[in-house]
Amino acid sequence: MTEVLMDRMSWPEFRDALKSNPTVFLPCGATEQHGPHLPLSVDCLLPTALCRDVAQIVGGIVAPTLSFGYKSMPKSGGGPHFPGTLNLDAQTLIAMVRDVIRELVRHGVRKICAVVGHYENQWIVTEGIDLAMRECGHTGLRVMRLEYWDFCTEATLQTVFPAGFPGVALEHAAVMETSMMLHYYPDLVRLDLIPDNPPAEFPPYDIWPPHRDWVPSSGALTSAKGASAEKGKAMVEQYCRDIAAAVRKEFG
């Protein structure tokens, strides 16, 4: 199978790969706690793996993953209290996204798909794309931005959550991410440490400094006990199919 990961290519291989005007996927992750059973790199590993699989379907290339993300929030990522969570200020991530896109364009890339793997990154990555478009839009550059979990269909949700879906914000380090990790990286999942805490209950506001006691001590915002590799496989296959279709629709 042809190599799709840019950081494993030599410069002549990358140069030659660009001749077909491929879509370049940019995984936008984070280094953040994901409970006692998952590694700090979940938000990097999952979008990178999905980008690799989709790139193989559409003939694309996967740029090196942006491994640091915008600030983890208590109501979606557990917050900054957990050791190992490394947060960027918004302007830092905005500049990284802008600069990476600008550099890809300088080398001839004209189709970019930014794949967000960290909930808090969404609008920060959008700003970086917007600034890059101001500088590079005249080149014919086109950019997509997506969060892979938004592609989850009702049929897949029913398969993964037969008792009801708690919502994507509470799914931090829970069934969805744990299942996908069991599919892609089973050796990195500590089955013996999967938490089974009840769903976190948050008020309809945020506060600073963040209240540490809002977040379950495990770091998982709801139970991950229902996770399985089979559920992960079902999500991954459906995501890859539908993301590839969306990329083909927009970029041809």
Active site residues: 32, 34, 43, 118, 120, 172, 177
Which three-class secondary structure string do you get for 102-120?
A: HHHHHCCCCEEEEEECCHH
DSSP string, 30-57: -B---TTTS-TTHHHHHHHHHHHHHHHH
- β pairing state of 23-28 and 111-116: parallel
CB atoms within 10 A of CB 238: 16
**In angstroms, rounded to a whole number, what is the distance separating the alpha carbons of residues 201 and 18?**
48
**In angstroms, rounded to a whole number, what is the distance separating the alpha carbons of residues 114 and 17?**
19
Q: Which residues contact 141 (CB under 8 A, 6 or more apart)?
A: 101, 105, 109, 110, 111, 112, 132, 133
**In angstroms, rounded to a whole number, what is the distance separating the alpha carbons of residues 197 and 223?**
5
Side chain identity, residue 175 = V
The pair of structure tokens assigned to 203 is: 């008020």
Where are the alpha helices (H) located in the chain, listed in sequence order? 11-17, 42-58, 90-106, 122-136, 154-160, 175-184, 229-251
Q: Which residues contact 186 (CB under 8 A, 6 or more apart)?
A: 229
Crossing angle of helices 90-106 and 122-136, rounded to 10°: 40
